[in-house]
Amino acid sequence: MQNISRRDFIKAVTAFGLLPAFAAAEEKTISQKIEFIHITDSHLDLKNEKSVEAMKIAVSFINKNYPDLDFVLFGGDNFNNNAPKDEDARTFAKIIAKLHCPAYCVRGNKESSPYPKGDPIDLSGFHKMFIEGKGLEVNGRDWAFEKNGYLILGLDSCIENANNGLYTPQTIAFAQKKLEEGKPTVILNHHPYTNYWGGKTKYDLHKYVLNNTDAVQKKLFGYKNLILTLSGHKHIDHVGKINDVTVIATRGFIRFLDLGQYPMRLIKLEDKKIEEKLIYTS
C-alpha cells in the first residue's frame, strides 16, 4: 500500500468534507498547560524600606528567570494598608506592573482592615486598582478568568476590619456556578482551609482557618474538576489534600527567619497533573 503524506491526507479529507471532524479530533490531543507563580503575604509597608525593596527584587527575579510565565497570583496581605490615603497600594501596584506577565490579586486581612479606618484603601478602592480593567469576570467581591483551558477563581475570604475570614453565601454560589462549567479549576484566596500547622488554641484556629471551612469543603471540594487551591495567611508552608484536591498554603513572602530570601511558589499544570516547588529570590 502506498504511503500518504499528512499534507495529502488533509487534502483528501478536505475534498470529502471531513476536515472539521478530523481537526476536532486532532485538537483534543493538545495538552492544556499553564505555568505561574504564587506569592502571598508580601506585607509591603512604606515604613519598612526592605519590604518595598523585596517586592522590587521579586519582580526582577521573575522577569529574569521565568520569562515564559502565564501570570503571577498574589494571595492577599500584599501591602499593609496603613499608609496615608492609598500610597502603599499605589506603590505595590506600580512595582508589580513591571512584571512581564499579568498579575492578579485577592485581598487579605490587611487590605480589608485599613488603619486608620476610613483612610487607606477600602474594598471599592482595591477593586478599582487591582481588579477592574484586568479582563476578569467579576461577581461582587470575587473574580474569574480562563487561560489555556484552565479556570482561575479569585475568591475573597475576608471579613471587613477583622483578621479571621469566611466565604459569604454569594462567594460560595459564584464558585459553584463556575465549577459547574467543568473546566479544571484553581482557587486563589487568603485564609487556609485546614489547621495544617497543628494549632491548639481557639484563638489561633479562629484567626487563621477559614471560619466556615466545613461548609465550604462540603459544597466545593466534591467537584472533580477542582484540582488546586492556593492560600496564605499563616506564613507557614504546606502542601496537602482535601478529597482529591491539592491544597497549598505558600510560605509567607516576608518572614524574619528567611533572612532576605523571599519565597514564592512556582506551579506548572498540564491537564490535571500538578508540578509545584518553593523557590527563593536568592
Q: What tens digit of pLDDT does each residue of 248-257 get?
A: 999 999 876 6
The 3-state DSSP class for residue 30 equals coil
CA–CA distance, 100 with 89 (Å, rounded to integer): 20
Same-domain pairing of 1 and 118: no
Domain residue limits at 166: 34-280
Same-domain pairing of 177 and 90: yes
Same-domain pairing of 165 and 226: yes
Same-domain pairing of 15 and 87: no
Same-domain pairing of 148 and 207: yes
pTM of the model: 0.88
Report the candidate in 219, 102, 233 with the shortest Cα–Cα distance to residue 157. 233
Amino acid 130: pLDDT:
98
Same-domain pairing of 137 and 155: yes
Same-domain pairing of 22 and 129: no
Span 149-160, pLDDT tens digits = 999 999 999 999
CB contact at 8 A, 137 and 143: yes
How many domains is the chain built from? 2
Same-domain pairing of 4 and 39: no
Q: Is residue 231 within a helix (H) or strand (E), and if so which, with residue range?
A: strand 226-231
Same-domain pairing of 21 and 58: no
Q: Give the angle subtended at the CA of 184 by the CAs of 166 and 147, to the nearest 5°.
A: 95
Amino acid 265: pLDDT:
98
Q: Grid coordinates standing for 245? A: 484536591
Span 194-253, pLDDT tens digits = 999 999 999 999 999 999 999 999 999 999 999 999 999 999 999 999 999 999 999 999
Same-domain pairing of 175 and 264: yes
Same-domain pairing of 9 and 78: no
CA–CA distance, 259 with 254 (Å, rounded to integer): 9
Amino acid 11: pLDDT:
52
Amino acid 166: pLDDT:
98
CA–CA distance, 59 with 81 (Å, rounded to integer): 20
Same-domain pairing of 99 and 117: yes
CA–CA distance, 204 with 193 (Å, rounded to integer): 13
* Residue 274: CATH number of its domain: 3.60.21.10
